[in-house]
């Protein structure tokens, strides 16, 4: 686990624990939605599954993020399969996206599955955990073989200052079943 991934995990645990304690500040919610019409949140679109099961140029869905908290420097997306515990909680990859200060609303572009070659402004926080199952890369598209696994993305607004990382807001969005 690289240093950024470890710090994000630790930060999430600290913030979640803090929200459970009376009188402390909880992680805020912000608004996240799928920004591609073919990603409807109920079923993964045809061709957007992993290569092993016939995916054709699979991409992450574009995301519309609104009400981004002031101080956010990065948006982190954790792609997950709720039905397969080893790939839940970011097991399909964790990607970061650098944003400009005071950004309130943004559409985060799609990222190619099965590759480590990410567009500028993106970075890998943790690669997917399915390299022994399908092709390696930063993001593993839905890969259950059509067994109706529910896929989702957890989006976090992160403030990074040096080695200090704080999760300011988070929201999960259903990507659909496959």
Kindly report, residue by residue over 112-166, the tens digit of the pLDDT.
999 999 999 999 999 999 888 898 999 999 999 999 999 999 999 999 999 999 9
For residue 26, the model assigns a pLDDT of: 59
pTM confidence score: 0.85
Phi, then psi, of 25 in degrees rounded to 5: -85, 130
Output the domain CATH number for residue 68. 2.60.40.10
Q: How many domains does the chain have?
A: 1
Q: Is residue 15 scored above 70 in pLDDT?
A: no
Burial of 21 (0-12, 13-18, 19+ CB in 10 A): exposed
Nearest to 123 by CA among 98, 103, 141: 98
Per the structure, the complete domain to which residue 136 belongs is given by 3-177
Two tokens at 3? 């240093």
Nearest to 111 by CA among 123, 102, 103, 129: 123
């Amino acid at each position: 686990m690289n240093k950024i991934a470890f710090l994000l995990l630790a930060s999430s645990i600290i913030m979640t624990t803090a929200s459970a304690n009376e009188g402390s500040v909880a992680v805020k919610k912000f608004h996240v939605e799928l920004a591609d019409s073919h990603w409807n949140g109920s079923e993964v679109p045809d061709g957007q599954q992993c290569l092993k099961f016939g995916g054709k140029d699979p991409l992450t869905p574009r995301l519309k993020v609104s009400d981004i908290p002031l101080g956010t420097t990065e948006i982190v997306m954790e792609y997950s399969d709720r039905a397969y515990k080893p790939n839940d909680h970011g097991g399909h990859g964790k990607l970061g996206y650098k944003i400009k200060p005071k950004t309130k609303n943004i559409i985060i572009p799609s990222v190619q599955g099965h590759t480590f070659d990410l567009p500028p402004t993106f970075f890998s926080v943790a690669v997917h955990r399915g390299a022994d199952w399908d092709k390696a890369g930063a993001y593993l598209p839905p890969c259950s073989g059509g067994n109706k696994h529910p896929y989702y993305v957890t989006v976090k607004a992160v403030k990074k200052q040096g080695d200090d990382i704080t999760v300011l807001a988070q929201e999960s969005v259903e990507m659909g079943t496959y």
